[in-house]
A and B are shown apart, each in its own frame.
Chain A
Amino acid sequence: MVLLFNVSNGLIVGLFYGLMALGLALILMLNNVVNFAHGGFMTLGAYIAYTIEQRFGFWAGLVVGPFAVGGLGLLGERWLIRPMYKRPGHLYTLLLTFGFALILEDVSRSIWGAQGVPFAIPDLLNSPLSDTYFFITGYNVFVVFITGIAAGALFALLRFTNIGIRIRAGMTDLETVSALGVNIYGLRALNFGVGLFLAGLAGVLAAGRLGLDPTMGQSLVLPAFVAIIVGGLGSLPGAILGGLLIGVAAGITSTYWAAASDAVIYVIMGIVLIVMPRGLLGEEGIGE
């Protein structure tokens, strides 16, 4: 029972990792940016949702938080990331987003305080669904449901819409896409916004589960990196799979050896890199 409890916990946390990793991978693959500030934006989304929730309730927060962060992403991409595309290498976007991460965390701390705050969720979602399996709360099911919808919508967007096809083509060969007359600047901005929308969503959902504090972004963004590496570079489904895998692994480990549950995901990453250097669903030749 304890094991089941921890596995279900791990699954939920894994979904947060997966959502974060999905947004990160999207930005990484089209914008060619490792967004260190992903965690900072996630925290910001959660706090915005918290502020809205105080006034207008949970559902308003759930909607506004992700959209606010996505909108900020559009602006940030336009003014700060876009000038970097013409610079060679990846160093400058890494440093830039790293700087953002520091600023965002500090700003969150200044506005909302260093202490964690609870994020109230509706009673409807707060009750366990079953007496024996007390850990299956309405909120957990809700998280699975929302994450499923978000991921499903993203994959549908990429698979069936014109924009999605352009994004996927851009991930393969941006120059050709540009030569074919697609406005790649708009495309990349939109993609950045979508990626940050997912970060905001992960933030709101995680806040309902783990509470809010200014460092929550930092503690979720690095496992999201691991999720991408484990799931496979250049694979969006891999990002979610990787997130779930390390979440569950950490959950299982916490049953037997609680102190190691943070470290185990990095051990898994090491093993994956030895056995399958490309990750579980990784494509050939990416990042090698």
Chain B
Amino acid sequence: MSGPVARTAILREPAPSAITAGIALFNRHRVSVVIWLLLLTAPVWLPLVGSYIQLGSQVLVFALTAMALNILVGYTGYISFGEAAYFGLGAYGTGLFLKFVAPMTLPAVLAGVALGGAAACLIGPLIMRRRGVYFAMTTIAFSQLFYFIAEHWNELTGGEDGLAGFQRHAIDFGIATLPLHDADFYYFVLFFFALTAGIIAMLLRSPLGHTWLSIRENARRARYLGLRTDWYVWAAFAIAGTLAALGGSMEALLNNFTSPQDLYFIVSGNFVIMVVLGGMGTFWGPLVGAAIFITAQDYLSSMTLNWESFVGVLFVVVVLAFPRGILGLRRNGRNGTKRGQSGRDQRVRA
């Protein structure tokens, strides 16, 4: 009569040891683990490959912003060409706070995020009903508003010459002080990068994130289901703008300087190409795109005066050769056509 007992014993899984569980966890998150390890050890290996820590911080700053933009471009299917506006506002918010209010780093970061986030929340309702190319056009046009304010409000922003005369200050935690020199500033940025990555990962698992995906895949069907898609687009725009402002705030702290160029639409275009180069709608794509773009730009601008042409060629090459981006290729290789063939809602007129 031991049959049933034996059968349950067979069916029951072997008790998972800590090691096998760890291996399973690692397999599931292989890419993430490798990326986090690389990021955490970057100050050690960056000089070994002939690079420098500031470049690593720069990559993180742009990767943070590009990941924020990926919410709109990759997950909601709305192409914003105006992300530099919120990036730049974050930079100005932080710079102005440090210069005129108080020399405290963390409140200055908050001030930058608040300024850029507020602007994104307010501009959102004006553009959330636009679709396709018109959305891109309207976002880029609005970004110019902030560019011209920064350029012409000389007394406050320093005008065309940019905002200087502030610097990041050591953070006093009571028990210890974080001096924010090169390497510890890298980890400071990495902390906010991790925070952003965590927020985005959480959002993508939430009902809100699933709604974004449904809008990307078929906005009309989402509307017929009774979802107020406009406001979900607004949410994506506001959150992306707020996180982009965090990126801008880091940029200001990194350079101890900001200028209207941070708000210029060329920078918006750079963010979009980072997202596309790495792979739209892939979690780590923007980081990969930012790393390649920033490294290439850094290298080219030290080699030739015509680096802008090379960046332009990079745009063309990405569009013609890697339309799904680097991580997009990998994803399609493994899972067949997980995305892309499923047919976006955007109508193909040809």
Q: Which residues of A approach B to under 8 Å, CB–CB?
A: 28, 32-34, 36, 80, 83-92, 94-96, 98-103, 105-107, 110, 174-175, 184, 222, 225-226, 228-229, 233, 259-260, 262-263, 266-267, 269-270, 273-274, 277, 286-288
Contacts and interface: CB of A to CB of B under 8 A. Distances in A.
A105 B272 CA distance: 19
A100 B316 contact: yes
Given A263-B145, A273-B126, 14 more contacts: A28-B133, A86-B350, A90-B346, A91-B280, A95-B276, A95-B318, A99-B316, A100-B312, A101-B312, A106-B309, A259-B152, A263-B152, A266-B145, A269-B142
B203 interface: no
A87 B344 CA distance: 11
B272 A99 contact: no
Most buried by B among A94, A226, A266, A286: A94
Interface of B: 73, 77, 79, 81, 126-127, 129-138, 140-142, 144-145, 148-149, 151-154, 265-266, 269, 272-273, 276, 280, 306, 308-309, 311-316, 318-320, 323, 343-344, 346, 348-350
20 contacts: A85-B350, A87-B323, A91-B73, A91-B79, A91-B272, A94-B272, A95-B318, A98-B81, A98-B273, A102-B309, A103-B312, A106-B306, A106-B309, A184-B350, A222-B141, A225-B137, A260-B152, A266-B145, A273-B138, A288-B131
Contacts of B323: 87, 92
Most buried by B among A83, A86, A87, A270: A270
A274 B123 CA distance: 11
Nearest to A271: B126
A69 B81 CA distance: 26
A270 B143 CA distance: 12
A248 to B, nearest CB: 18
A88 B132 contact: no
A55 B130 CA distance: 48
Contacts of A89: 77, 79, 132, 344, 346
Nearest to A98: B269
A90 B269 CA distance: 14
Contact of B276 (A32, A91, A287): A91
Nearest to A185: B350
A81 B202 CA distance: 38
A233 B315 CA distance: 27
A251 to B, nearest CB: 16
Contacts, number: 145
Contact of B137 (A34, A83, A88, A277): A34
A266 B142 contact: yes
Describe B's contact surface by its main secondary structure.
helix
Contacts of B272: 91, 94-95, 98
B129 A277 contact: yes
Contacts of A277: 129
A95 B315 contact: yes
A230 B318 CA distance: 33
Contacts of B350: 32, 85-86, 174, 184
B313 A103 contact: yes
B141 A269 contact: yes
Contacts of B315: 95-96, 98-99, 102
Nearest to B73: A91
A186 to B, nearest CB: 13
B52 to A, nearest CB: 26
Given A88-B348, A174-B350, A287-B134, A107 B309 contact: yes
Contact of A34 (B133, B142, B144): B133
A134 B316 CA distance: 48
A288 B127 CA distance: 10
A91 B314 CA distance: 15
Nearest to A174: B349
A110 B152 CA distance: 29
B118 to A, nearest CB: 15
Contacts of B138: 229, 273
A287 B130 contact: yes
B140 A99 contact: no
Contact of A106 (B79, B133, B312): B312
Contacts of B133: 28, 32-34, 90, 94, 287
B39 to A, nearest CB: 27
B135 to A, nearest CB: 8
Contacts of B126: 270, 273-274
A262 B260 CA distance: 14
B319 A266 contact: no
A89 B340 CA distance: 11
Contact of B140 (A225, A267, A273, A274): A225
